[in-house]
Amino acid sequence: MVPLIKPNQTVLFQGDSITDCARDHGDINSLGVGYAMMAASLFQSIYPEYGVKFINKGISGNRAIDLRSRWTADCIDLKPDWVSILIGINDTWRRYDSNEATSVEAYKEHYRHILERTKNELSANIVILEPFVLPNPADRIAWREDLDPKIQVARDLAREFNALYVPYDGLFASASTKAPSEFWAADGVHPSSAGHAMMAREWLRAVSAIC
């Protein structure tokens, strides 16, 4: 199998706490302990001769508007060849814990802005990762009303920008038929080690690094 990522390219992971996952923000080489680190490590173990560089710039708590505000420093200036984005759950979560709703229209506007900049200023390849929530604790079920339209936005933008797409919400739903949803994410949002490993595996499949 020949991966879509080519030798000596740079891959940037962007997003919120799921991507951040305890990375050292002062160390450009720190990838955290989640799916970004797992995907990068597995890729490098399979293709050590490629010399691919992986960077993680996820920041806990970020929403789409936060990515937009830091896109120059944390994406454009880094000149990545690949940009992988997971954003959206906090755009939903803040509605329920802080009464700070992000409309579907605002989410789409901010997301499209960063994708347009990525294409126009970098000509980078884009991987859009589907935001997700699992139905535990029980109050997460009500979040579907807010999150589902944002998931549709992510799908529409992936088609519009010819991006690779990883359907994590559906994948976690499928995985939850094999083990309880709390096995994959105890709070319905932040994956367990097994959840992160599944995310890493599916990310590698999307870039044709594994079967």
Q: Which residues are catalytic?
A: 17, 187, 190
Cβ atoms 56, 100 nearer than 8 A: no
Cα separations in angstroms, 21 against 9, 54, 155, 192: 23, 15, 24, 11
Of 93, 74, 91, the residue nearest 83 (C-alpha): 74
Q: Dihedral, CA atoms, 40, 45, 48, 54, nearest 10 degrees?
A: 10
Cβ contacts of residue 146 below 8 Å, gap of 6+?
92, 95, 96, 101
Residues in the chain: 211
Cβ atoms 119, 161 nearer than 8 A: yes
CA distance 8 to 80: 11
Report residue 70 as tokens. Answer: 């830091």
Q: Where are the alpha helices (DSSP H) in the chain?
A: 17-20, 35-46, 64-69, 71-74, 89-97, 104-117, 144-160, 168-175, 181-184, 193-206
Cβ atoms 118, 124 nearer than 8 A: yes
